[in-house]
Amino acid sequence: METIRTTPIRTSCAERRGSGRRPSFSSLRIVLYAAILFLILGRGESLAQGVGISETSITPDTWSILELRSTLRGFLAPRMTTAERTTLGSKPPAQGMLVYDTNVKSFFYYDGAWIAIPGGTSILGVANGGTGLSSITANNLLYGAGTSAASLLATGATTGAVLMNTASGAPSWSLLGALPSTAGVLLVANGGTGLSSITANNLLYGNGTGAASLLAPGATTGALLMNTASGAPSWSLLSALPSTAGALPATNGGTGVANNAASTLTISGNYATTLTITGITGVTLPTSGTLATIGVLIAVQVFTADGTYTPTGNIKSFVVYAIGGGGGGGGCPNTNGATGAGGGAGGTAIAVYTNPLGSYSYTIGALGAGVSNANGGTGGNTTFDVLTANGGVGGTVGNATTFQPRAGGTGGTATGGNMNLQGMTGGAGVRLAATAGYGLAGTGGSTLFGSGGPGCATGVAGNGSAGTGYGSGGGGSIGNTARAGGNGTAGVVIVFEYK
């Protein structure tokens, strides 16, 4: 392989001026022609290796037809404008043609169309397979703008927004609730209803893959929704329900009987109110069980003073509630913020008497009084026959020196009944600050028939409130001076008579 070695011809300005004529290049032409003839007529192996051009002697790459190597000069490709490039030649250029476009500052090669070779700071245009953009904002979407640079769509302002087509054709974000009617209707198969509107108050029900069906409101207030033979829902009044609807059980307020026309009516379950049977003769009540023992409630007697109870004639049984007196609320000393506790409620004894005979004596427990600057008084005991319901203990007086809570009065106990309930303990009194009225006064304990008195309100110094009803405890006081707790309420005996 022969190497064409190029050496720059240097001629000084003085030599050119001294000669009086321009230098001749004929000698260069002779050398060039000789080199070309040598390459053509020379050794055969040089044709097989290709040509190397360099300022120094090189051996070209074996598989290169032409290798240019220099550390002093670069390769200068043909340069032309965009217009010149796109109209190059009378027919399409050969594939692989390489030029430099001086308008867009980029190399282009031809492969059925001119394709830019991006590099440096040049931006590849849309016409050459690029975006025409030098940067793309994070999370933005790109969409076409003809041969101009691609357009960007910023992220939606709301999470869950969907991409939709606009009238101009450009994409845009939209919430489902803001989609125009032209977006169509979401089909059932895609999780929608298949309906473009739903009449007010109508119910929706399934229709397979078809649009959901609508059921208009019932014509009558109180109508119930029932299943029909076809499976579709329908409105019906209770009186129009078919027999296939079954019978309403006693636990839901019915009789549990599907047809009571027979001579024998069987009733099961527990009834809290009077059971009235009409249109049937010869009703025989059972001789055993709860209905036979308790019977029908005919009277309630309330006793608030000591005495003797004589059952009303012809009753089968009675139930008695004996409740002790409620304890008084705790008072407080002449100390800012001292807070009394609530009084305890009286105990409750409950007993059932069947087939009563004779009379029964009873005593009523007195109320526990609230006392200024002292513990509340303990309620009195209530008795009935063998029943005893003890009174509730009074609430503790408010603390004059520390902020330790004061215990509420203990509820009274009970004995002798089928059921014996201890009374509710009164609420504790808590001093919050050494400031007038700043405490949490205890509330009195409550009973089945009475509510405990509330303690004095925080921030307002004063006496505790009295309980209400029967056997409840009084509320505690809060001090800025010596104060009294609220009174408890007296006990009671209540008798429910049945026949």
Q: Is the pLDDT confidence value at 218 over 90?
A: no
Does any domain span residue 144? no
The answer to the question of residue 393 being in a domain is yes
Residue 247 is predicted with a pLDDT of 77
CB contact set of 483 (below 8 Å; sequence gap of 6+): 331, 332, 340, 372, 373, 398, 456, 461, 462, 463, 464, 477
Higher pLDDT, 24 or 180: 180
Same-domain pairing of 113 and 28: no
Residues 427 and 339 in one domain: yes
Q: pLDDT of 92-132, one tens digit each?
A: 898 999 999 999 888 999 998 888 887 656 677 777 678 87
Flag the least confident range among 158-167, 356-365, 423-432.
158-167
- Mark whether 46 and 114 lie in a shared domain: no
Give residue for tokens 């009617």. 181
The answer as to whether 384 is a domain residue is yes
Share of the chain above pLDDT 90, in %: 36
Report if residue 409 sits inside a domain: yes
Residue 246 confidence (pLDDT) = 76
> For the ranges 375-379, 440-444, 485-489, which has the lowest average pLDDT?
440-444
Residues 403, 465 share a domain = yes
| Residue 192 forms part of a structural domain | no
d(CA 417, CA 303): 18
Tell me the mean pLDDT in the region 262-266: 52
Higher pLDDT, 442 or 4: 442
417 and 441 housed in the same domain = yes
Q: How far apart are CA 274 and CA 316, in angstroms?
A: 16
Structural domain tally of the chain? 3
Q: What is the 3-state secondary structure (H, E, C) of 265-325?
A: CCCCCCCCCCCCCCCCCCCCCCCCCHHHHHCCEEEEEEECCCEEECCCCCCCEEEEEEECC
More confident residue, 422 or 228: 422
Q: Which two tokens stand for residue 176?
A: 């489902």
Checking if the pLDDT of 42 tops 80, the result is no
User: Is there a single domain that holds both residue 42 and residue 88?
Assistant: no
Between 181-195, 219-233, 285-299, the lowest mean confidence (pLDDT) is in: 285-299
Per DSSP, the three-state class of 259 is: coil
The pLDDT of 449-475, averaged and rounded, is 90
List the single range of 35-39, 433-437, 448-452, 495-499 with lowest mean pLDDT: 35-39
First-to-last alpha carbon distance for the chain, in angstroms, is 136
Same domain, 461 and 491: yes
Average pLDDT of the residues of the chain: 82
Predicted confidence at residue 257, as pLDDT, reads: 67
**438 or 286, which is more confident:** 438
pLDDT of 83 above 70: yes
Residue 227 has pLDDT above 70, yes or no: yes
- Indicate whether 12 pLDDT > 50: no
Kindly tell me if the per-residue pLDDT of 16 is higher than 50. Answer: no
Q: Which residue has the tokens 């198969």?
A: 189
Predicted structure pTM score: 0.44
Asked if 366 and 417 sit in the same domain, the reply is yes
Same domain, 113 and 41: no
Q: How confident is the model at residue 321 (pLDDT cuts 50, 70, 90)?
A: very high
Boundaries of domain holding 53: 3-9+21-69
189 belongs to a structural domain: no
Q: Which residue has the higher pLDDT, 423 or 44?
A: 423
pLDDT number for residue 266: 56
Among 7-11, 356-360, 408-412, the least confident range: 7-11
Most confidently modeled range among 78-92, 164-178, 271-285, 348-362: 348-362
Is the pLDDT score of 383 beyond 90? yes
Q: Which residues contact 1 (CB under 8 A, 6 or more apart)?
A: 45, 46, 49, 50, 52, 59, 60
353/257: higher pLDDT: 353
pLDDT of residue 9: 39
Bridge partners, residue 236, by sequence: 224
Q: CA neighbours within 13 Å on the CB side: how many for 459?
A: 0
Query: In the predicted model, what is the mean pLDDT of residues 55-77?
Result: 89
The pLDDT assigned to 328 comes to 96
**261 is a domain residue:** no
* Residue 209 falls inside a structural domain: no
pLDDT band at 46 (very low <50, low <70, confident <90, very high): very low
Judge contact between 485 and 299, C-beta under 8 A.
no
Give 253's pLDDT tier (boundaries 50, 70, 90): low
| Alpha-carbon gap, residue 447 to 424, rounded angstroms | 7
Residue 325 has pLDDT above 50, yes or no: yes
